Structure 1
Amino acid sequence: MILFTSGGLLALLSLSIPVGIVLFLLAFGIDVLFSPFPLMRGLGQVVWSSSNSATLIAVPFFVLLGELLVRSGIARRTYSALEAWVSWLPGGLIHANIATATLFSATSGSSVATAATVASVATPQAEKLGYDPKLFSGAIAAGGTLGIMIPPSINLIVYGFLTETSIPKLFVAGLIPGLMLALLFMVVTALFCMAKPSLGGPGTSASWKRRFTSLVDLLPLFTLFGTIVGAIYAGWATPTEAAAIGVAMAFVIAFAHKAVNREMIVASLKGTVRTTAMIMLVVIGAYVLNFVLTAAGVSRALQEFLQNLGMGPLATLMVIILIYIVLGFFIETLSLMVATIPIIVPIVEQIGYDRLWFGILMIILVEMALITPPVGLNLYVVQAARKKGAFSDVIIGVIPYALAMLAMVALLIAFPAIALFLPSNL
C-alpha cells in the first residue's frame, strides 16, 4: 500500500496532472483497492470540515497583500534603498537581492512572489554592471525561499492548520531561523566573492546622506510587518484579522504612491483568486487523502516500518530529512507539505521531537524544494525574469545556498532553541 501511494504520487505528478487532482485520484484509488468499506461516503463531510475554517481565510488575505505590494512598485523602492546600505559588501548587489527578499518576505508570505519581484527589479542592474549570472541568479532564487519562513507565511499557516499547531507560535518560531538563514546566504555570498572577486561585479558605495534618505522607502514594509506581527502578539488581532489589516494598509500605501488604478486592482484580485484556488484545492485534497490513508492503515504501516528498523530518534529523523530532500526534487513545496504532514508529524512526535520545532525544520527542507530541479519553482521564476542565458546557470548558482540550508538544518537539530526560544518566552 505504501509503494502504491508513493509510486502513484510520483507517476501522476510526472504526467503534469494538477496536484490537487492527484491527491483526490490517489484517495479514490486507495479506497477502491485497499479499503474494506467505501470511505468515499464520508467525502462530503471531509471536504466541508477541511474548508470550513476561519484560519484559512488568512490565506487569500496574505496572497492579496503580496499582490498589492508587487504591483504598486514598492519593491523597486525597497531594493534601491537596501542597495545603498549593503552594496559595499563583497558581492555588491547580490547582498541587496538577499536583503530585499528578506524584507519583502516579511509581508508577502509567498516565495514565488518574492523571487519574481526581486528578479524583475535586480536582473537589469546585474546585466548592466556585469555580475556573474550564476551566483547572482542563484542568490535571487534562494532569497525568495525566505518568503515561506519569515512571518507571515502561507505555508506556516497551512502547517498550523493541518497539525493544529498555534499559528502565532509558528510565526514567531520562524523569525530567528529565517533571519539566520538570510545571514548565512550573505556570508556564503561574501566568501565566494572574496575568493573570486569577479563574481561580485564592480564594488559600489553610497553616501551617508543617500543611505539615510533612502530609509523613507523602507518605512512601508517595516510598518506593515510591525503592524501585522505586533497586532498578533499584542493579542489585538488573530492572524486572519491581522492579514485583513495588512491588506488595508497595503492599499493605502499603494494609493499614497499613486499606484492604484483599475488595471492594478483587477490584476491583484485575479492573481489572488488563482493562487488561493490552487492552495485550497491542494489542502482539501490532502485532507481527503489523509482520511483514506488513516482509515486504510497506511499511516500506521509506515510508523511500524520505521519502528522495525530499530533506529534511535536521531537516526529516524535523519531518514525523514533524507525523504524530504529526495521528494523535494520531484514534488512542489505545498504539495510536499500537505501530502506528508499527516503521516510524518505523528511519527516525529512519537520519537520525542517537538511539533512546533519540526514545523520550522520542515519549512527549511521545503525551501530547498523550491530551488532543486526539476520542479523548483523559484528556478523557473528567475530564469523567466532573465529572459536569456542557460537554465543550468540558475541551477549551478543555487548550489552554495542549498548547502547553507543544510547547514541551517544541522544548526536547528543541534540547537532546537533557535526555533523554540521566542515561542517559549513570549
Structure 2
Amino acid sequence: MTDTAIGLSGLALLFLLLMLRVPVAFAMFAVGFGGIWALDSLTSALSLLGSESFTLASSAELVVVPLFILMGNVATETGMSRRLYDAAYAIIGQVRGGLASATVLGCGGFAALSGSSVASALTMGRVSLGEMDRYGYDSRLSTGAVAAGGTLGILIPPSTGFVIYAILTQQSIGRLFLAGVLPGLLLLALFIATISLLCRLRPGLGPTGPRTTGAEKLRALIGALPILSVIALTIGGIYGGLFSPVEASAVGAGLVILFGAVLGQLSLRRLWSATRDSVVTTATVMLILISAHLINPFLALSHIPASFGALLEGLALPPLAVLSLILLCYLVLGCFLEGLAMLVLTLPIFFPVIIALGYDPIWFGVLAVLVLEMGLISPPVGVNVFIVKSVAPSVPLGRIFAGVLPFWGAMLVALVLIVAFPQIALLLPETMID
C-alpha cells in the first residue's frame, strides 16, 4: 500500500468517525497518531505527541483563548450581554424588523467579547427570541436572525477560528484579528439590510416594536457603556499598538471582572461558573490543536498536499479559478463537517497552494473563516441552527433552515466582495502599528 493510499484511507476513516459523532479531537488524534505509526514508526508517533503537546501547552500566544473566553462568559453571567441587546433594542427596535436587527447587532457586540459563534447564538437566542415572539415576529425571521447573527462570533475578533488559523499557518494573531473587523462590520450591515428588505417585501415577517423616548435610548446606551468600553479598548488597543493580542485579552478579562464586581453583578458563584465553562471550552480547543499537530505531519508523510498541488498545477487554471475551487470545497465540506475540524483538515492541503499562487495568507484567513461561518448555518449539520432549535424547541427545524437561507445569501455576497476587493480585509492590518 502506497503512502498516498494510506493517507486517503486515513482521511476516509476520519470522515467516518466524524459522521458517527466521535468528538473531533479524539477522531483526529486516532487517525493522526495511527497514520504516523503506519507511515513511520511508533517511536516517531509517541515522540511527536509528547513534543507537540508540550509546545502547544507552553505557547504564550494561546493565552488569548482562555482569557477571551473568560471575558465572554463573565459578560454573560453578569448580564452585560443583555444590556448590549437592550441598547440596540432601544435605538432601532421601533422600526419594522427592528427587533431582529437589534438581535444581529447584539450578536455582533457579543461576538467581540466571546469569539464564539455557538455562545453568541445561545446567549442572544435566550435574550431575544421571547421578545420577538411576543411582538408577533415570524419564527423564520426570528430564528434565522439569531442563527446567522451568532456566526459573527467566528469572524469579529477575538475569534477562536482566527487563533487556530494563526497557529496552524504561523501567521500573526493580531493581524488576523484586525483583518476580521471590516469584513465583520460588512457582514453585520448586510444582515441588517437583508432583514430590512425581507420586512419591506413581506411586512408581516417583522412588525414594528415599541417606541422609546430619547431618555430611554440614552439610559440603555449608558447601561451598555461598560461593555462597549471594554470592546473599544481591547480592539482599539491592538490596532493602536498599545497591546499585543495576549495583553489585550488580559486587559479585557480583567476589566469585565472589575466592572462586574464594582456594579455588584458578579458573585463568587457566577465567577466560578464562568471560570469553569472557560476551562472546559479551552480544553476542547487545546485538544483540537494537539490533534491537528498530529494530522498535519501524517498528511505530509502521505504526500497528499504535494499531490494535490501538483494536480492543480497540471490543470493550468488561472489563480482565481483555483481559489474559487478551494472556496467551493469549503462550502461543500461545511455542509457535513464542524467548522474547526474542517479548518484543521483542509489547511495542510490548501494553504501551500494559496501561498504558491501568491495570495496574501491574512486575506485568505478571512475568506476561510467566512466560509466556515456559512457552514455553521448550512444543512444538514448547521451547528448554529441546532443551537437555536435547543432554545426554541417548538419551531420546526425545517423552518429555521428556511429562515437562515436569506442570510446565507448575504454571506455569499460578502464573500464575493472580499474576493473582489481584498483591501476590505487588509486595510487595517496594513496600517497596524507594530
- TM-score bucket of the superposed structures, by smaller chain: over 0.9
Root-mean-square deviation (CA), in Å? 1.7
Q: Secondary structure at the match of 2:158?
A: coil
State the partner residue of 2:286. 280
State the partner residue of 2:417. 411
Q: Secondary structure at the match of 1:90?
A: coil
Q: Does 1:187 align with 2:193?
A: yes
Which amino acid in structure 2 is aligned with residue 403 of structure 1? G
Which amino acid in structure 1 is aligned with residue 29 of structure 2? F
Q: Distance in 2 between matches of 1:8 and 1:308?
A: 28
Q: Distance in 1 between matches of 2:172 and 2:267?
A: 38
Kept in 2, the 8 Å contact 1:90–1:189? The answer is no
Instruction: With the length of structure 2 as denominator, give the TM-score of the two structures.
Output: 0.94
1:345 Cα offset (Å): 1.2
1:350 Cα offset (Å): 0.8
State the partner residue of 1:105. 111
State the partner residue of 1:307. 313
Counterpart of 1:172 (choices 169, 178, 182) is 178
1:338 Cα offset (Å): 1.6
Q: Does 1:23 align with 2:23?
A: no
State the partner residue of 1:137. 143
Counterpart of 2:237 (choices 226, 231, 234) is 231
Q: Secondary structure at the match of 1:311?
A: coil
Q: Distance in 1 between matches of 2:322 and 2:34?
A: 29
Structure 1 alignment gaps of length 5 or more: none
1:203 Cα offset (Å): 4.0
Kept in 2, the 8 Å contact 1:286–1:339? The answer is yes
Kept in 1, the 8 Å contact 2:143–2:388? The answer is yes
Deviation string, structure 1 residues 94-129 (Cα, Å, up to 9, x no partner)? 011011111111121111111111100101112211
Counterpart of 1:365 (choices 368, 371, 388) is 371
Q: Distance in 2 between matches of 1:284 and 1:192?
A: 44
Q: Distance in 1 between matches of 2:277 and 2:375?
A: 23
Kept in 1, the 8 Å contact 2:135–2:209? The answer is no
Q: Does 1:349 align with 2:359?
A: no
Q: How does 1:120-135 map to 2 (within 5 A)?
A: 120-135=126-141
Q: Distance in 2 between matches of 1:51 and 1:203?
A: 49
Kept in 1, the 8 Å contact 2:68–2:249? The answer is yes
Q: Distance in 2 between matches of 1:352 and 1:15?
A: 38
Q: Does 1:11 align with 2:8?
A: no
Kept in 1, the 8 Å contact 2:69–2:114? The answer is yes
Which amino acid in structure 2 is aligned with residue 18 of structure 1? P
Which amino acid in structure 2 is aligned with residue 347 of structure 1? V
Which amino acid in structure 2 is aligned with residue 179 of structure 1? L
Q: Distance in 1 between matches of 2:71 and 2:370?
A: 23
Q: Secondary structure at the match of 2:17?
A: helix
Q: Does 1:387 align with 2:393?
A: yes
Kept in 1, the 8 Å contact 2:299–2:348? The answer is no
Counterpart of 2:202 (choices 196, 199, 202) is 196
Q: Distance in 1 between matches of 2:44 and 2:319?
A: 34
Q: Distance in 1 between matches of 2:297 and 2:79?
A: 44
Q: Distance in 2 between matches of 1:343 and 1:261?
A: 47
1:413 Cα offset (Å): 0.9
Q: Distance in 1 between matches of 2:123 and 2:129?
A: 10
Deviation string, structure 1 residues 33-55 (Cα, Å, up to 9, x no partner)? 44489641432223322333100
Deviation string, structure 1 residues 272-322 (Cα, Å, up to 9, x no partner)? 111111100001100111012113312211211222222111111111011
Counterpart of 1:215 (choices 197, 214, 221) is 221
Which amino acid in structure 1 is aligned with residue 269 of structure 2? E
Q: Secondary structure at the match of 1:341?
A: helix
Counterpart of 1:328 (choices 321, 325, 334) is 334
State the partner residue of 1:374. 380
Counterpart of 1:82 (choices 75, 82, 88) is 88
State the partner residue of 2:261. 255
Deviation string, structure 1 residues 3-26 (Cα, Å, up to 9, x no partner)? 324322210101111111111121
More displaced 10-residue stretch of structure 1: 234-243 or 244-253: 234-243
Instruction: With the length of structure 1 as denominator, give the TM-score of the two structures.
Output: 0.96
Identity %: 36
Q: Secondary structure at the match of 2:337?
A: coil
Structure 2 alignment gaps of length 5 or more: none
Q: Distance in 2 between matches of 1:185 and 1:376?
A: 18
State the partner residue of 1:297. 303
More displaced 10-residue stretch of structure 1: 236-245 or 36-45: 36-45
Q: Secondary structure at the match of 1:47?
A: helix
Kept in 2, the 8 Å contact 1:62–1:154? The answer is no
1:342 Cα offset (Å): 2.2
State the partner residue of 2:251. 245
Q: Does 1:397 align with 2:403?
A: yes
Q: Secondary structure at the match of 2:407?
A: helix
1:359 Cα offset (Å): 0.4
1:252 Cα offset (Å): 1.4
Which amino acid in structure 1 is aligned with residue 142 of structure 2? F
Counterpart of 2:61 (choices 48, 52, 55) is 55
Q: Distance in 2 between matches of 1:374 and 1:6?
A: 21
After superposition, the Cα gap between the structure-2 partners of 1:388 and 1:417, relative to the gap in structure 1 and judged at 3 Å, is same
Q: Distance in 2 between matches of 1:296 and 1:81?
A: 53
Q: Distance in 1 between matches of 2:427 and 2:388?
A: 35
After superposition, the Cα gap between the structure-2 partners of 1:132 and 1:398, relative to the gap in structure 1 and judged at 3 Å, is same
Kept in 2, the 8 Å contact 1:142–1:401? The answer is yes
